[in-house]
């Protein structure tokens, strides 16, 4: 595939080379001793109106420098080019009090003589995604030292408004449900400044950028640089995660056509698609699996044409059902839409500013008086650059296919933040993210996105104490029941990473969350009415996911979620904080736990009611009773057997089944784990290539909270878990269930934990375990355990 530079926007290839060296250049003098750059704006534009703007700075160099480090940011988003080559994209998503900047060494793209820095900056205006904070349209480029300060943003920079762009709003009901992601884009090539990013582009009609306040790092704003402690504008902090991975992807097949014929060569970029004048052509393209990608379309001619791309996770029949995702007969497409209007130019390369999520793309072309030649249509995959460091295999073949769709789902829901769904929302929710973080810790060696998520939710806390349900989010939303899950997420990190000082920094936040819940405990010993949205699970019997007693008070499951957080917070305080507070948390947990036992237990049924004296029962409430020891340890297995067998109970959906599977293991029924994965086999039978939000009918086909079986395969089936905080020791306790052999690899901060196990003819177990240098632990099976040491060793029972 050839790369061409006559493009609407070329995505930065940031995986290697330019853009990867940010961590090397976080020099202490940044924004401190270097001459200050100025934030610049398009003059005459309202600060928060829709607009796409191009900024340029032409400058001369006597010789090509060995290094030339700058720091870049913008509001809402930017892409930076050096002499026509993309070098950076951002800023990393956050909020105004932690506004990110990227650090880039431009030297590899500079040369002696004339050079140009060029940035496209856009503001979605009223159509901005819910996750996007914004102050006003602006751009900043700050040199790292006086030498690089010659290109600092200021009035020397020129700016041009791109009149070729308009947004296409996305009505959620028309595409399947709540929509909070960016709008579609309409691009008119006749009004586009082709070549604007290259040094030889004439900029006579460009105007001087309007200069505003100087750049200040947040640490400087809070020190002598701002003696009165004011915190207006963008509080700049460095990027904390690597650039996103970007790599070309091609469609797998043309599934149907109308008005034109297309062959495989077109999809491979080897042949052209020619659409005659005054005609219409429609092609349904199948990626073969769900992906996130920037669509790239290259055309020639076709003045007066309109080219539309419609993106969908799946097609739907006349009743709105998706059915098997591989099937297309009797189904149509509806979804996010982009439109391109060619100007008749040669080799015009159209690319959207924002990526799209799709399996299916419908290409719709209507030509005018001139035929249109389509040279190429493909995508550029984008996502957090996770590398798979884990492995699982067994004698049950379909588990490998499940592992693959779970990992793909986890990857598509990981970008500059975690996503609940990349198609519909692109929001980072606490409930989703705790599960995604555990998948990350077990399947990759990179915990930076986990750390950022924990920090984001800490930033989101409101004065009354709880976290937001999702963050970053310019539209505040509060699901109080997610705040205890954030406490558990902090505890998870403490168990898996040896970073006590880092974790200690979140204790003020966990205390504020638990204090909020403690204020809700009434004279029954249970939690009283819960304000905002007390969501627990998308159970079909529960309106808006709220269990009985959720809003009015005395919900068994919500009271036990509080206990679940108290238990973990007590461990954190005992080890890192205030032991007296740990004692208080344990006492409070006992009080609420005892109240649940006394008021919600139904002796006749052997189950916990959803509310004291209520007539409904749920898997969710009884699962939490096991996880919090509201039922005695010796009775937990029997309770979980009832949870699994009693179909009259409100059933857990994919999200809450994570907690159900954890309770199964805790109750001593870990060997039942694999049989619980039947719904995931059903996903494969439906042709899903990622894991959905809920059982059918589901809005979203990609929701990483449903990918938790990959964690379970490693943590329960292979049985690898931390035995001490910081993962300083390991406990390996496998639960093979029906499996005859398993092999697993789990990344650990010290290296890789490898486990290979097989059942023996006499009903025993034999295998090999390899622990990284410095890691010790135990291997447990059937009530017996043996000590484990670093290196390779044989286990036999």
pLDDT in tens, 28-39: 456 666 788 999
Q: How far apart are CA 778 and CA 723, in angstroms?
A: 8
Q: How far apart are CA 486 and CA 565, in angstroms?
A: 9
| Cis previous bond, 472, omega within 30 | yes
**Which token pair is 15?**
């995986």
CATH of region 520-672? 1.50.10.10
More confident residue, 580 or 12: 580
Residue 595: Cβ within 10 Å count = 23
**pLDDT at res. 24:** 41
pLDDT in tens, 72-118: 999 999 999 999 999 999 999 999 999 999 999 999 999 999 999 99
CA distances from residue 397 to 207, 402, 403, 736, 740 in whole angstroms, order as listed: 63, 9, 10, 14, 12
CATH of region 22-164+191-241? 2.60.120.260
Q: Taken in order 54, 59, 63, 65, is the CA torsion positive or negative?
A: negative
**pLDDT at res. 220:** 52
Q: How far apart are CA 453 and CA 457, in angstroms?
A: 6
pLDDT in tens, 485-518: 999 999 999 999 999 999 999 999 999 999 999 9
pLDDT in tens, 767-778: 999 999 999 999
Q: Taken in order 344, 345, 348, 352, is the CA torsion positive or negative?
A: negative
The residue-averaged pLDDT of 397-403 equals: 98
**pLDDT at res. 16:** 31
- Name the CATH superfamily housing domain 718-797: Maltose phosphorylase, domain 3 (2.60.420.10)
pLDDT in tens, 654-688: 999 999 999 999 999 999 999 999 999 999 999 99
What average pLDDT does the structure give for the chain?
Answer: 94
Q: What confidence tier does 215 reach under pLDDT thresholds 50, 70, 90?
A: confident
Q: What confidence tier does 10 reach under pLDDT thresholds 50, 70, 90?
A: very low
Listed as own residue / partner, the contacts of 188-192 with beta carbons closer than 8 Å and 24 or more positions apart are: 188/163, 188/164, 188/341, 188/343, 189/8, 189/164, 189/340, 189/341, 189/342, 189/343, 189/345, 189/348, 189/350, 190/164, 190/341, 190/343, 191/162, 191/163, 191/164, 192/8, 192/162, 192/164, 192/343
Q: The pTM is what?
A: 0.95
pLDDT in tens, 335-387: 999 999 999 999 999 999 999 999 999 999 999 999 999 999 999 999 999 99
**pLDDT at res. 226:** 59
More confident residue, 730 or 269: 730
Q: What are phi and psi of 603, to 5 degrees?
A: -65, -35
Q: How far apart are CA 636 and CA 623, in angstroms?
A: 9
Q: How far apart are CA 611 and CA 559, in angstroms?
A: 10
Q: How far apart are CA 780 and CA 787, in angstroms?
A: 9
* Sequential DSSP letters for 444-502: -S--HHHHHHHHHHHHT--TTSPPPSBSS-SS----GGGHHHHHHHHHHHHHHS--HHH
pLDDT in tens, 313-335: 999 999 999 999 999 999 999 99
Q: How far apart are CA 409 and CA 622, in angstroms?
A: 29
pLDDT in tens, 711-763: 999 999 999 999 999 999 999 999 999 999 999 999 999 999 999 999 999 88
Reply yes or no on whether the pLDDT at 261 is more than 90: no
**pLDDT at res. 6:** 36
246-383: which CATH number, 3.40.50.300, 1.10.10.10, 2.60.120.260, 3.30.70.580? Answer: 2.60.120.260
**pLDDT at res. 213:** 85
Helix (H, G, I), strand (E, B) or coil at 85: strand
The residue-averaged pLDDT of 628-632 equals: 98
Locate the domains of the chain by residue range: 22-164+191-241, 246-383, 520-672, 718-797
Q: How far apart are CA 134 and CA 127, in angstroms?
A: 12
Q: Which residues contact 499 (CB under 8 A, 6 or more apart)?
A: 493, 726
Q: Which residues pair with 299 in a beta bridge?
A: 348, 374
Q: How far apart are CA 637 and CA 198, in angstroms?
A: 69
User: In sequence order, what E strands does 156-252 have?
Assistant: 158-161, 165-168, 184-188, 207-208, 210-214, 236-238, 245-249
22-164+191-241 shares its CATH topology with 246-383: yes
* Sequential DSSP letters for 127-167: G--TT---SSSEEEEEESSTTGGGG-SSTTSEEEE-TTEEE
């Amino acid at each position: 595939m050839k790369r061409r530079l006559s493009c609407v926007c070329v995505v930065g290839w940031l995986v290697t080379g330019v853009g990867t060296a940010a961590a090397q250049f976080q020099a202490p003098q940044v924004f401190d001793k270097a001459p200050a750059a100025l934030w610049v704006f398009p003059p005459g534009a309202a600060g928060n109106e829709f607009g796409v703007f191009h900024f340029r700075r032409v400058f001369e160099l006597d010789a090509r420098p060995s290094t030339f480090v700058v720091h870049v940011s913008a509001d809402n988003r930017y892409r930076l080019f050096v002499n026509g080559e993309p070098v950076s994209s951002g800023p990393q998503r956050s909020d105004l009090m932690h506004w990110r900047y990227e650090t880039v060494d431009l030297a590899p793209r500079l040369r002696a003589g004339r050079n140009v820095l060029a940035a496209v900056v856009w503001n979605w205006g009223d159509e901005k995604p819910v996750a996007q904070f914004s102050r006003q349209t602006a751009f900043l480029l700050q040199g790292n030292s006086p030498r690089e300060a010659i290109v600092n943003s200021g009035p020397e920079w020129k700016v041009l408004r791109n009149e070729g762009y308009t947004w296409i709003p996305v009505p959620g009901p028309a595409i399947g449900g709540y929509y909070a992601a960016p709008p579609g884009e309409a691009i008119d090539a006749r009004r586009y400044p082709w070549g604007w990013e290259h040094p030889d582009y004439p900029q006579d009609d460009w105007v001087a950028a309007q200069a505003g306040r100087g750049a200040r790092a947040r640490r400087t704003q809070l020190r002598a640089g701002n003696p009165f402690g004011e915190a207006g504008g963008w509080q700049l902090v460095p990027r904390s995660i690597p650039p996103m991975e970007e790599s070309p992807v091609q469609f797998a097949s043309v599934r149907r056509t109308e008005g034109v014929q297309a062959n495989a060569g077109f999809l491979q970029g080897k042949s052209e698609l020619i659409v005659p004048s005054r005609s219409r052509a429609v092609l349904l393209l199948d990626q073969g699996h769900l992906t996130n990608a920037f669509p790239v379309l290259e055309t020639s001619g076709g003045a007066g044409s309109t080219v539309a791309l419609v993106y969908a996770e799946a097609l739907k029949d006349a009743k709105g059902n998706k059915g098997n995702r591989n099937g297309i007969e009797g189904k149509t497409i509806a979804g996010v839409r982009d439109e391109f209007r060619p100007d008749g130019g040669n080799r015009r390369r159209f690319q959207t500013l924002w990526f799209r999520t799709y399996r299916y793309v419908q290409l719709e072309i209507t030509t005018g008086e001139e035929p249109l030649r389509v040279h190429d249509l493909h995508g550029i995959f984008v996502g957090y650059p996770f590398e798979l460091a884990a492995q699982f295999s067994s004698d049950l073949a379909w588990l490998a296919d499940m592992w693959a769709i779970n990992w793909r789902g986890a990857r598509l829901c990981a970008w500059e933040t975690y996503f609940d769904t990349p198609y519909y929302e692109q929001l980072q929710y606490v409930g989703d993210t705790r599960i995604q973080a555990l998948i990350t810790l077990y399947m990759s060696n990179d915990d930076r996105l986990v750390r950022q998520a924990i920090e984001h939710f800490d930033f989101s806390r409101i004065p009354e104490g709880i976290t937001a349900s999702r963050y970053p989010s310019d539209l505040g939303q509060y699901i109080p029941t997610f705040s205890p899950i954030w406490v558990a997420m902090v505890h998870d990190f403490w168990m898996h990473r040896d970073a006590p000082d880092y974790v200690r920094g979140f204790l003020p936040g966990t205390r504020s969350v638990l204090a909020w819940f403690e204020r809700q405990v009434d004279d029954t010993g249970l939690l009283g009415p819960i304000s905002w949205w007390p969501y627990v699970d998308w159970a079909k019997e529960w309106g808006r996911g709220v269990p009985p007693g959720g809003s009015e008070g005395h919900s068994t499951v919500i009271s036990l979620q509080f206990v679940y957080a108290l238990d973990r917070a007590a461990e954190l305080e005992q080890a890192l904080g205030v032991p007296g507070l740990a004692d208080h948390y344990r006492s409070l947990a006992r009080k609420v736990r005892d109240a649940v036992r006394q008021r919600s237990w139904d002796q006749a049924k052997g189950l916990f009611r959803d509310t004291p004296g209520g007539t409904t029962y749920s898997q969710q409430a009884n699962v939490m009773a096991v996880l919090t020891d509201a039922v005695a340890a010796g009775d937990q297995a029997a309770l979980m057997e009832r949870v699994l067998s009693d179909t009259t109970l409100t059933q857990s959906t994919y999200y809450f089944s994570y907690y159900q599977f954890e309770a199964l293991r805790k109750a001593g029924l870990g060997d039942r784990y694999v049989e619980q994965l039947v719904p995931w086999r059903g996903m494969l039978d439906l042709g899903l290539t990622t894991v959905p939000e809920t059982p059918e009918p589901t809005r979203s086909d990609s929701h990483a909270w449903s990918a938790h079986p990959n964690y379970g395969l490693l943590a329960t089936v292979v049985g690898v878990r931390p035995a001490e905080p910081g993962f300083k020791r390991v406990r390996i306790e496998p639960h093979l269930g029906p499996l005859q052999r398993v092999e697993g690899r789990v990344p650990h901060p010290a290296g890789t934990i490898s486990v290979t196990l097989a059942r023996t003819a006499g009903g025993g177990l034999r295998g090999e375990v390899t622990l990284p240098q410095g890691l010790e632990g135990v291997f447990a099976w059937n009530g017996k355990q043996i000590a484990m040491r670093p290196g390779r060793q044989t286990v036999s029972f």
